[in-house]
């Protein structure tokens, strides 16, 4: 009997097939939505997933202002950042961020679920978040995904 050998195909920049996906955040829970979006951006839903290559799809999140947080997170959760100067620590709540721009809440959640390296910074550029239901990417013919 003849043995069959298969070679594992490793994706690279030239062989990656990338698409566009639309996700509606209307009445979705933030963390559950962000983990699914990060998975699609990373490319883990594809058979050709390769850890060191940007092989994921570009994701458009619409209706970010209608996102939900469970419990008392609108007031209790804190986003901490630091300017790098003494006394430069700044703290804000999701309620304050939503008043500024609701897309920041979704962006922070997804960024936290991507790798913390050069690849993660590159992957984050594949996320497009819009506060309302309109986006300027109709020419890319994105597929709608329901979670």
- Name the least confident of 5-9, 96-100, 119-123: 5-9
Q: How many Å apart are CA 127 and CA 37, to the nearest integer? A: 9
The residue range of the domain holding 133 is 20-68+102-145
pLDDT for res 1: 60
**Mean pLDDT of all residues belonging to the chain:** 95
What's this model's pTM, rounded to 2 decimal places? Answer: 0.91
Q: Is residue 80 part of a domain?
A: no
Structure tokens at 136: 């300027």
Q: Does residue 4 surpass a pLDDT of 80?
A: no
- What Cα–Cα distance (Å) separates residue 144 from each residue in 19, 83, 88, 141? 11, 38, 41, 10
Read off the pLDDT band of 64 (50, 70, 90). very high
Number of domains in the chain: 1
126-135: per-residue pLDDT in tens? Answer: 999 999 999 9
Q: What is the CATH number of the domain that holds 112?
A: 3.90.1180.10
């Amino acid at each position: 009997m003849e043995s069959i050998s298969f070679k594992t195909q490793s994706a690279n920049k030239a062989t990656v097939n990338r698409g566009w996906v639309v996700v509606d955040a209307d009445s979705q829970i933030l963390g559950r939505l962000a983990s699914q979006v990060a998975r699609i951006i990373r490319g883990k839903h594809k058979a050709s997933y390769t850890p060191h290559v940007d092989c994921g799809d570009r994701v458009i999140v619409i209706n970010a202002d209608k996102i939900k947080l469970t419990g008392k997170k609108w007031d209790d959760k804190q986003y901490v950042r630091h300017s790098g100067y003494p006394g430069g620590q700044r703290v804000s709540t999701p309620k304050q961020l939503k008043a500024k721009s609701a897309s920041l809440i979704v962006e922070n959640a997804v960024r936290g679920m991507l790798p913390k390296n050069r690849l993660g910074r590159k992957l984050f550029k594949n996320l497009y978040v819009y506060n309302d239901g309109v986006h300027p990417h109709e020419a890319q013919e994105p597929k709608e995904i329901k979670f």
